Amino acid sequence: MNTHRPWKLSVAGWAALLLFAPATVLAHQEIGQITGFASGFLHPISGFDHVLAMVAVGLWGAVLGSPAIWVLPVAFPVTMAFGGLMGLLGVPLPGIEIGIAASAIVLGIMVLAQLRPPLWAAAILVAFFAIFHGYAHGKELPEGASALLYSFGFVVATGLLHLVGILLGEAHRWAVGRQAVRAAGGGVALAGLFFLWQAVAA
Amino acid sequence: MRRAVGTTLVALAAIVVASPAHAHLVETGFGAFYDGIAHFAVSLADMLIVIALALFAGLRGTRAARHAMFALPAAWLVGGALGALWPTASIWPVSTTLSLALTGALVALDAKLSDASVTAFVIVAGALYGFVNGATMTPGGAGGLALLGAVCAIFFVNTILAAEVTVLPVGWPRIAVRVAGSWIAATGMLMLGWLARPTLA
């Protein structure tokens, strides 16, 4: 048996792979499209207040269990998009930053205290706060990006933040995890108080 | 070993002289049919509506998915042919975006429509998007063969996806489909805001 054969094949394989690494390949990239998705995807995770609230939605959903575990993360992006629509249209909405801070406080307390309101009440509460988050994003949307890709990236990032919250919240199944989830809720509420102080002071 | 070193040297030499890759045959092209497939593959708006319609039909069961399997490409083709006749017509962005948001919402809500209603909805949405395809592709030099390529790609994606959804078990897999629908609805709603913004500015 020729023991060198695998090595020679490997060399040829690597050489072939390296040949596919040319200086520039700009195939099928429409102008602004990648920028649109990337900036849309990064927008929700660029603000700590948004991130905490969205993760808290997932945490609370996990605490409440089925069907809230998926109803809340569905309600949030849809109503957030509605808020974004309001922001884009220039519909006046007062107290945006206070509403965002309040969302972190209230959702954090819900997780901390393990409160279990009826599903409809939880969904309305989450949807109400989502409007403030969406409105803030809608007002800040940049010019020139690919609208569809930006919107798609924006929604996907929001959904993934909820998913992170749900996965963290799944620790709720164990006694130690339950305490950790409650502590996380307390942390979100405290951060919300800080955001509220900032919003009022501004 | 000497032969391996030689191969390596030749490979390195080839790497050094590598020029920018003109990938996807932008100069020669594959031909109109494959241009149509590529057009669909890189058009997120077209891809999203086909995915949304496939999810919607798949959630409603095997019969609805079978009807949609043929209704969607046929409607897209007829709409595309009509659009090709009037290439200067408006591309109706609000109508297409509304239909995208509505389809996403129907998926998210798991709307219990009858098979006939699902088929009718698929035909209207497919014809609308097909018309826009025909109206926009024709001025770019793409003809009937390109439209046929796009329709074949749509048939392929719709059939595979709808078939997969029909066999999903009750529980988390179907919930994941509904979540995907909510994301599409939210994307469509944001798009409506983008479309309305310049008119108010």
Lowest mean pLDDT among A55-69, B84-98, B117-131: B84-98
Question: What is the structure's pLDDT at A194?
Answer: 92
Q: Which of B8, B175, B186 sits opposite A155 (nearest CB)?
A: B186
Q: Any chain A CB within 8 A of the CB of B109?
A: no
B109 min Cα distance to partner chain A (Å): 10
Query: Which chain B residue has its CA at the smallest distance from A5's CA?
Result: B4
pLDDT tens track for A102-120: 999 999 999 999 989 999 9
Sort out which chain B residues have CB atoms less than 8 A from A12's CB and list them: 7, 11
Closest among B73, B33, B34 to B53, alpha carbons compared: B73
pLDDT tens track for B23-47: 655 555 677 888 888 888 888 889 9
Q: Which of B15, B24, B196 sits opposite A89 (nearest CB)?
A: B196
Lowest mean pLDDT among B80-94, B101-115, B118-132: B80-94
CA A113 to chain centre: 23
pLDDT tens track for A131-177: 999 898 887 766 666 778 888 888 899 899 989 999 998 888 888 88
Query: Which chain B residue has its CA at the smallest distance from A13's CA?
Result: B11
Sort out which chain B residues have CB atoms less than 8 A from A87's CB and list them: 193
* Residue with more model confidence, A35 or A113: A113
Question: What is the structure's pLDDT at B200?
Answer: 46
Label each residue of chain A as H, E or C.
Answer: CCCCHHHHHHHHHHHHHHHCCCCCCCCCCCCCHHHHHHHHHHCCCCCHHHHHHHHHHHHHHHHHCCCHHHHHHHHHHHHHHHHHHHHHHCCCCCCHHHHHHHHHHHHHHHHHHCCCCCHHHHHHHHHHHHHHHHHHHHHHCCCCCCHHHHHHHHHHHHHHHHHHHHHHHHHHHCHHHHHHHHHHHHHHHHHHHHHHHHHHHC
B53 min Cα distance to partner chain A (Å): 17
Mean pLDDT on B53-59: 95
Q: Any chain A CB within 8 A of the CB of B21?
A: yes
Q: What is d(CA B9, CA B12) in angstroms, rounded to the nearest whole number?
A: 5
Q: What is d(CA A141, CA A155) in angstroms, rounded to the nearest whole number?
A: 13
Query: Which residue type, as a one-letter code, is found at position A12?
Result: A
Top residue of A7, A37, A74, A86 to mutate, by most chain B CBs within 10 Å, is A74
Per-residue pLDDT band for B5 (boundaries 50, 70, 90) equals confident
Question: What is the structure's pLDDT at A26?
Answer: 41
Give chain B's mean pLDDT. 86
Q: Is the ipTM of this complex over 0.90?
A: no
Share of chain A above pLDDT 90, in %: 30
Sort out which chain B residues have CB atoms less than 8 A from A80's CB and list them: 186
Q: Which of B18, B175, B186 sits opposite A70 (nearest CB)?
A: B175
Lowest mean pLDDT among A61-75, A127-141, B134-148, B180-194: B134-148
Query: Which chain A residue has its CA at the smallest distance from B178's CA?
Result: A74
Flag if A88 and B194 touch (Cβ within 8 Å).
Answer: yes
pLDDT tens track for A3-32: 455 555 566 666 666 665 544 444 444 445
Sort out which chain A residues have CB atoms less than 8 A from B12's CB and list them: 15
* Residue with more model confidence, B19 or A78: A78
Flag if A15 and B11 touch (Cβ within 8 Å).
Answer: yes
Q: Any chain A CB within 8 A of the CB of B48?
A: yes
